[in-house]
Amino acid sequence: MEIRQLRHFVAVVTEGSFTAAARAELIVQSALSTSVRNLERELGAELFDRTGRRVVLTEAGRALLPQARQLLAGAEAARQAVAQVSGLGAGRLAIGTIQTLTCVDLAGELAAFHREFPAVQVSVREAPVEELIDGLRAGELDLAFLAPDARRLPDGLAPFATWQEDLVLVTAPGHPLAAAGRTLIRDLAAEPFIDFKAGTGLETAVRRLAAHCGLERRITCDVTQIGLLVDLVRAGIGVAIVPRRIGEAAGLPCVRIRQPEPGRSIVLAGRAPRPRNPAAGALLDQLDRLDRFDRLDQLDRLD
């Protein structure tokens, strides 16, 4: 059994298909399929049910998954220890992020990181909050930008940075609210809303705001991509509540919401007390030098 085979097996589970896993591992699909087949042959059991169109773990596959993740985490820790000694001349950095991140220029920060540490391979996963938390816990992610559903992070995770994002109502150009420039929550009861996917940090923040103000939104459409949400708002299908920078970047009217003025917290989290991966530590230090966030020393400072 080889570490490479276990990595390919976990990649199929994480990415949801052999095709996506091969793309993530930067190899051709036939090579990845052969690697998994060899692993199955060595273990004497099939790990995936290939009879349907979806990739489904067999009982043997489910039994192997936690062990494989543990072995891969151990192997990665060994690699990172060597990389640390050699001054990050090698290694990997796995970052998770919510889709609607606007408080950090992630592409710009990763570009700056790459210029300083070009030999470190960076992987970025965009997913709902719970999936990112699971990735942190499993050791698949070093850091993740979250919009947590609770005031405190789950045990074993620590906040390394926090931001506050303003939320605004976006409308189609020419909408009556666009001219007013501001609105009260209670005045939105008759408006059709376009909602983001349930389970995302944005959906949670908007749902909480509506519940707090007693607003029963009329959802006419829900989507999983923020770009599509913006296009639907522009087309006049409904209004939506989004981070201000998303509305401004889209060129849509941004209507200020009063009583209360909405916002949400974004947290950069990792495993406590500090990432063991030196590449993750280097990224945190880079952000700290740029003075882009306030470090948190205690979990209860999220309250």
Q: What is the pLDDT of residues 219-234, one digit of tens each?
A: 999 999 999 999 999 9
> Residue 196: pLDDT above 70?
yes
Which tokens belong to 279? Answer: 């590449």
- Stronger pLDDT, 300 or 239, i.e. the higher one: 239
What's the pLDDT at 170?
97
- 132, 216, 171, 179 alpha-carbon torsion, rounded to 10°: -140
Regarding pTM above 0.75, the answer is: no
Q: Which residue's structure tokens are 């942190």?
A: 136
> Residue 294: pLDDT above 50?
no
Task: Give the chain's domains with CATH numbers.
Answer: 1-85 (1.10.10.10), 164-264 (3.40.190.290)
Distance, in Å, from the CA atom of 9 to the CA atom of 176, rounded to the nearest integer, reads 54
Percent helix, percent strand, percent coil in the chain, to nearest 5: 45, 20, 35
Q: What is the pLDDT of residues 113-162, one digit of tens each?
A: 999 999 899 999 999 899 999 999 988 999 999 988 766 788 889 999 88
User: What pLDDT band is residue 300 in, cutting at 50, 70 and 90?
Assistant: very low
